[in-house]
Structure 1
Amino acid sequence: MATDGRAELMLKGTTLRLLALYTCAVLLGLASAWLWVTRVGMSGVDAGQWRVNLLAGSTRADAYTRARIAIFALLALDRRETLYYTTDRDDDDATLRAECTYSVALRPPAARWWSITAYAADGFLFPDKAHRYSVSGENAQVDADGRARFLIAPQSSPAGVDARIATSGTGGMRLTLRLYQPDDSLQRAPQTLDPPRIKKDGRCVS
C-alpha cells in the first residue's frame, strides 16, 4: 500500500510539473507573439524614427502583420493607395509618453492627403470631448519655411498650451502617419520620406 501511495504522489508531482511547464510555454509564446506584433515584427523600412510596413494591405502579409494592423486600427490599403508610418519614439530616441508635451514639425509629404494620429498604448484613440485626435493636410498650419507645426499635449496641460492632438492618462503612445495616394517616388522608396520631427518640450504632467 505504501508503495502505491508513493507512486500516486510521484504521478501527481509529474503531472503538476508538466502542467507548469505547459503553462509557462503558453505564456512565453503569447508574450513573444505580443512583442513581435507590437515592437519588432513589422516588416518594412525606416525613415528616421518612423517605420513603414511594406506588407500592409498586401496579399503577402503574414499573420503577425495582420494582427498588428488589427491592433493599431489601420485600414491596410495597398501601398500604391496608402503608406502607413508609425513610431513610438521621439527624435532623441526616448519613448513617447501620454503625459508629456511634444512639438511636431513636418514638410507636407508628397501625397494627395496625409494625417498624423495619436494612439494610446492599448491601440485606442485617446478620449477627448473636443475630438482632437489627429492633424491632417486639411487643417494643418504651415509656417513660412513650409513646415506644418503643432503640439501633442495632455488635456490637463496648463492654460495657453494649444494642443492640436490631446492625450490623457499616463504610459506609452504611438503616432501613425497616413499618406493617401503617395507620390510614385515614395511608393518605390518609402524610406526617402522626410520624416516628421518629434521633440519633447520638457513639460509633463503627473
Structure 2
Amino acid sequence: MWLLKAEIANTSTKNGAWSYNPHVGSKDASGLTRAAVAVIGFLGLAKEESIYFIANKDDNNDLLSGACSYKVTGMISPDDARWWSITVYDTNTNKLIKNPQNHYSFNGDNIEKMQNSSFVFHISANKKAGNWLPIQKDPQFDLTLRMYNPSKTSSEQIATLDLPKISKESCP
C-alpha cells in the first residue's frame, strides 16, 4: 500500500497543502499509478472531466490527525469548476471515517457560504458550530478535493489555483 501511495505522491504537483497527480485519469498513467488509483479508490474520470487534489498535511506541513481540530477556508467559484466536494478519509484504510452524523464531506451545494461565496468549515472529533465535519480522535486522515467539469484555466493552472487553506485550530 505504501508503495502505491508513494507513486501518487512522487508524481504529484504541490499547491499549498494539496497534491495533484496529472496522471490520474490520463491514458498515459503508468501501471503503478493505475494500481494506486484502483486501491485508493478514486473513480479516476478523464482529466478533462475532473481534477483530484489530496491533502494529508495542513498548511504548516503537519500530518492531519484526528487528535487535532482544523479549519478549512476557501472559495471555489462556478468559474473554477461546475461542482466540487471535499471529503475526509481515514489515511490507513482509505475509507470514510464513521461518525454518528453520517456526514463525510462538504460540496458547493451543501455548505453554508458567506456573503462573498467563500466558505469555512471545521474538522474535529468535538462538535463545532457552523459547518462541521466530524472525525474520530485516533486516525490520521486525508482530504480529497474533487473539482468536476473544471474550467480550462483551472486545468491549466493547477500549481497556482487558489485552493482551500487547511489550518490547525487546536491540538493536545
TM over 0.5: yes
Cα distance in 1 between the residues matched to 2:115 and 2:171: 26
Deviation at 1:100, TM superposition (A): 1.6
Deviation at 1:67, TM superposition (A): 2.5
- Answering whether residue 73 of structure 2 is matched by residue 102 of structure 1, we say no
SS of corresponding position for 2:5? helix
Partner residue in 2 for 1:125: 96
- Amino acid paired to 2:3: W
In 2: Cα distance, 1:160 partner to 1:192 partner: 31
CA shift digits 1:4-30 (9 cap, x unpaired): xxxxxxxxxxxxxxxxxxxxxxxxxxx
Residue ranges of structure 1 left out of the alignment (5+ in a row): 1-33
**2:123 corresponding residue in structure 1:** 152
- Partner SS state of residue 200, structure 1: strand
Q: Deviations over 1:142-175 (max 9, x none)?
A: 2234321111111xx2x55556211114131110
Per-residue displacement from partner, 1:19-76 (whole Å, max 9, x unpaired)? xxxxxxxxxxxxxxx4332245432312111111111111211122122222332110
Query: Equivalent of 1:188, from 134, 156, 159?
Result: 156
Aligned to 1:201: 169
Aligned to 1:65: 33
Q: 1:134: which partner in 2?
A: 105
TM-score normalized with structure 2 length: 0.88
Residue 2 (structure 2) aligned to one of 35, 46, 54: 35
User: Larger % of helix: which?
Assistant: 1
Report which of the two structures shows the higher radius of gyration computed on alpha carbons: 1
Deviations 1:55-110 (A, max 9, x none): 11112111221222223321100110000000100011100002221110011141
Amino acid at match of 2:21: N
RMSD between aligned residues: 1.9
Q: Show structure 1 runs of 4+ deviating over 4 A.
A: 159-163
SS at match of 2:25: coil
Aligned equivalents of 2:101, 2:128: Cα separation in 1: 16
Q: 5+ residue gaps in structure 2?
A: none
What is the percent sequence identity of the aligned residues?
28
One-letter code of the match for 1:51?
S
Q: Helix, strand or coil for the counterpart of 1:75?
A: coil
Paired positions, count: 168
Matched, 1:48 2:16: yes
